[in-house]
Amino acid sequence: MVLQTAQLSSFILPNRSLAMLRLLLVLLLPAALSAQEQKPAPAAAIARLGWLAGHWRLEKGGRVIDEQWMVPAGGVMLGMARTVIKGKLIEYEFLQIREGPGGDLYYVAQPSGQKEAAFRHLTLTDTEVVFENKEHDFPQRIGYSLKSDGSVVAYIEGPGKNGATAHIEYPYQRVK
């Protein structure tokens, strides 16, 4: 279909109207963009775990367990842990808490050179986080809880003997 010149002119705005439209865009666009920039971004879930950052220690029965966590940055907290008995390294673990798809948090552990395992967060508050992976042998649940005295209790749990749930706690004190 071929449009005649007279038909085309009805689709084109007169020069004055086009100039006004351009002026409005130039004036309103920066204001619209500025309004969008002023909206605060939602806080990342991992930022709520800032209380876990630092050096934590448990000393009991000649066993010393140290666990260290970096502050949240770039959507991840990096951690490491080691267990020493009588000056000898018994076990170690490389750890991550990272944001995954949809903002979910994942606890990724690689203990003493074993294959890594990932646990998705189940519960998250300003003082507690619980991760779970029902497909993992043991543990299937890992948790950290900040206590009112500033200490942290970590725990692992999963299937134990005779079908009972095994629960092991690690009461950590902050190392200054």
Tens of pLDDT along 96-124? 999 998 889 999 999 998 999 999 999 99
Give the pLDDT of residue 162: 86
**What letter represents residue 101's amino acid?**
P
> Which residues lie closer than 8 Å to 171 by C-beta, 6 or more apart?
58, 151, 152, 153
Distances (CA, A) of 118 to 32, 73, 105, 142: 42, 19, 10, 11
Give the pLDDT of residue 106: 98
Would the pLDDT of 125 be above 90? yes
How sure is the predictor about 40, in pLDDT bands with cuts at 50, 70 and 90?
very low
* Mean pLDDT score of the chain: 85
Give the pLDDT of residue 102: 86
Total-model pTM: 0.75
Q: What is the 3-state secondary structure (H, E, C) of the chain?
A: CCCCHHHHHCCCCCHHHHHHHHHHHHHHHHHHHHHHHHCCCCCCHHHHHHHHCEEEEEEECCEEEEEEECCCECCEEEEEEEEEECCEEEEEEEEEEEECHHHCEEEEEEECCCCCEEEEEEEECCCEEEEECCCCCCCCEEEEEECCCCCEEEEEEEECHHHCEEEEEEEEEECC
What is the mean predicted confidence (pLDDT) over 155-162? 94
How sure is the predictor about 163, in pLDDT bands with cuts at 50, 70 and 90?
confident
What is the mean predicted confidence (pLDDT) over 141-165? 96
Among 145, 166, 168, 165, residue whose Cα is nearest residue 155: 168
Of residues 13 and 162, more confidence is placed in: 162
Copy the structure tokens of residue 68. 């260290």
Counting residues of the chain whose pLDDT is more than 70, the rounded percentage is 76
Task: Give the torsion sign (CA, 63, 87, 158, 144).
Answer: positive
Give the pLDDT of residue 53: 98
Tens of pLDDT along 44-62? 899 999 999 999 999 999 9
Give the pLDDT of residue 30: 55
